[in-house]
């Protein structure tokens, strides 16, 4: 799939931008703070309905405006897809696909496939488990849109159950009876989420291992993925061997039910739900060691890149050609890693690359360059861009 046209209104620093795009690589170049990342953030928003930089929607709306609009024309094989999102912080967003309003904005999820790699992705390796859970669940939903409902229902049940546990702590008794009902929902939805996450980790792992070898070189340690769960059946973090038969959602539910029963008293004492997919983690390892706490800065960076390239390869293997977005990443890579990433970017149906300095981007990706400056995005003649780059270096 590729983005044929992108229009933003009151999105971040953009008052209005209207941009025609082509398949193949496009580089957005411009000085720091001109709005390059903001442009590609909007592309990421089309896929995940979230930003890779902030948790809520409010920062995405241009200061002084009350709503932001992202409008995109996408081409998938020979079909055209028009997606329009109104971002209304504090109120429900509104989404239209081919001019028909969606009953729920989350119905958009899974329609636009894109994989975004940015400096922020270092937190996938070094940050809290919550970052990795979000990474897994976003990819899950992108592959299996039905799970968007399961994820949000699970979150809702968890909130209710936690609220109830807090009351139960004060007045044991009645609240505990109601708790059984919530346990039922938690166990049912949690089992579905666990099954889906385990399937995903098993499917993604070989792609990440391969991508890491491609990025870090064949003689580097082997990168692997495991799942560490509060439900023992769902994994202890060791790599999931290829070809393993995984338990079913029903089996995960049963195991979760058992754990919930075991820890009931502790949960009431602490007033929170202590077991379930919301407490789990994706374990990224390098050789025999977990990456978090052990991997060097360069290794962590390469692992983050391999995770995203793994997603790209997985979606591709599913039969969807995702848009590859690379935000400000070439400047920090060494020559070999640049070349490895450039090869992937060139193979993508469309890749959108941002850089402050055009020379940091491998020449084979510079066929289409868009200059971002002064609130405008203007396509440059590639030869003029080359000249510009040379002149800048000379003067
Ligand atoms: N909601 C908003 N309203 C107005 N301006 C905003 C908003 N959010 C961010 N900005 C501004 O957008 C500007 C551009 O941000 P962006 O991150 O896209 O820059 P960039 O071109 O990627 O820069 P760099 O090369 O440093 O990565 C920043 O100066 C920021 O202050
Ligand atoms: Mg940027």
List pLDDT tens digits, range 251-278.
999 999 999 999 999 998 999 999 999 9
Domain limits, the chain: 1-113+321-395
Position 235 scores a pLDDT of 93
List pLDDT tens digits, range 274-301.
999 999 999 999 999 999 989 999 999 9
**Cα-to-centroid distance, 327 and ligand 2 (Å):** 6
For residue 61, give the ligand 1 atom closest to its CA. Answer: 1
Query: Quick one: average pLDDT of 3-16?
Result: 98
Q: Report, at the CATH architecture level, how domain 1-113+321-395 is classified.
A: 3-Layer(aba) Sandwich (3.40)
Q: Is the pLDDT of residue 386 over 60?
A: no
Position 266 scores a pLDDT of 93
Q: Ligand 1 atom 17: the closest Cα is on which residue?
A: 37
List pLDDT tens digits, range 73-95.
999 988 999 999 999 999 999 99
Position 176 scores a pLDDT of 75
Q: For residue 349, what pLDDT band results from cuts at 50, 70 and 90?
A: very high
| Least distant ligand from the CA of 39 | 1
Tokens of 130: 């919550």
Q: Ligand 1 atom 5: the closest Cα is on which residue?
A: 13
Kindly report which listed range (175-184, 313-322, 377-386) carries the lowest average pLDDT score: 377-386
List pLDDT tens digits, range 295-328.
999 999 999 999 999 999 999 999 989 999 999 9
For residue 62, give the ligand 1 atom closest to its CA. Answer: 3
For residue 63, give the ligand 1 atom closest to its CA. Answer: 3
> What is the pLDDT of the chain when averaged over all its residues?
93
**Cα-to-centroid distance, 185 and ligand 1 (Å):** 42
| Least distant ligand from the CA of 33 | 1
Question: Which residues are annotated as part of the binding site for ATP?
Answer: 30-37
Q: Ligand 1 atom 7: the closest Cα is on which residue?
A: 12
Which residues line ligand 1 at a C-beta cut-off of 6 Å? 12-13, 30, 32-38, 59, 61-63, 328, 356
Question: Which residues are annotated as part of the binding site?
Answer: 30-37
Q: For residue 178, what pLDDT band results from cuts at 50, 70 and 90?
A: confident
Q: For residue 177, what pLDDT band results from cuts at 50, 70 and 90?
A: confident
**Cα-to-centroid distance, 63 and ligand 1 (Å):** 11
Q: For residue 383, what pLDDT band results from cuts at 50, 70 and 90?
A: low
Query: Quick one: average pLDDT of 145-149?
Result: 95
Position 390 scores a pLDDT of 39
For residue 34, give the ligand 1 atom closest to its CA. Answer: 21
Q: Is the pLDDT of residue 240 over 90?
A: no
Q: For residue 394, what pLDDT band results from cuts at 50, 70 and 90?
A: very low
Give the percent of the chain with pLDDT over 70: 95
Position 393 scores a pLDDT of 37
| Least distant ligand from the CA of 60 | 1
Position 168 scores a pLDDT of 80
Position 392 scores a pLDDT of 40
Query: Quick one: average pLDDT of 137-164?
Result: 95
Query: Quick one: average pLDDT of 192-218?
Result: 96
Q: Ligand 1 atom 28: the closest Cα is on which residue?
A: 33
């Amino acid at each position: 799939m590729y983005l044929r046209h992108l229009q933003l209104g009151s999105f971040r620093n953009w008052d209005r931008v209207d941009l025609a795009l082509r398949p193949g690589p496009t580089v957005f170049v411009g000085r720091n703070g001109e709005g390059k990342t903001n442009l590609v953030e909007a592309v990421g928003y089309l896929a995940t309905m979230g930003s890779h930089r902030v948790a809520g929607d409010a920062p995405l709306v241009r200061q002084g405006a009350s709503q932001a609009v992202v409008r995109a024309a996408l081409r998938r094989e020979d079909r055209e897809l028009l997606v329009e999102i109104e971002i209304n912080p504090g109120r429900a967003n509104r989404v239209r696909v081919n001019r028909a309003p969606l009953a729920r904005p989350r119905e958009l999820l899974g329609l636009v496939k894109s994989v975004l790699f940015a400096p922020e992705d270092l937190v996938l390796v070094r940050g809290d488990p919550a970052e990795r859970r979000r990474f897994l669940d976003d990819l899950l939903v992108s592959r299996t849109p039905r799970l968007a409902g399961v994820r949000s229902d699970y979150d809702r049940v968890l909130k209710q159950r936690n609220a109830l546990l807090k009351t139960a702590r004060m007045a044991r008794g009645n609240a505990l009876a109601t708790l059984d009902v919530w346990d039922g929902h938690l166990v049912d939805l949690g089992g579905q989420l666990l099954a889906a996450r385990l399937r995903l980790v098993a499917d993604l792992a070989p792609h990440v291992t391969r991508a890491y070898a491609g990025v870090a070189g064949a003689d580097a340690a082997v990168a692997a993925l495991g799942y560490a769960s509060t439900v023992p059946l769902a994994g202890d973090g060791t790599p999931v061997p290829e070809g393993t038969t995984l338990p079913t959602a029903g089996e995960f539910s049963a195991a979760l039910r058992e754990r919930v029963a075991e820890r009931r008293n502790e949960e009431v004492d602490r007033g929170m739900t202590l077991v379930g997919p919301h407490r789990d983690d994706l374990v990224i390892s390098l050789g025999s060691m977990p990456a978090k706490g052990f991997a060097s800065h360069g290794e962590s960076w390469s692992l983050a890149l391999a995770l995203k390239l793994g997603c790209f390869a997985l979606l591709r293997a599913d039969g969807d050609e995702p848009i590859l977005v690379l935000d400000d990443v070439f400047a920090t890579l060494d020559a070999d890693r640049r070349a490895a990433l450039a090869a992937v970017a060139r193979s993508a149906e469309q890749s959108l690359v941002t850089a402050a300095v055009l020379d940091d981007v491998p020449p084979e990706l510079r066929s289409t360059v868009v200059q971002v400056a002064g609130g405008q995005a203007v396509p440059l003649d590639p030869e003029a861009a080359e000249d510009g780059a040379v002149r800048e270096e000379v003067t």
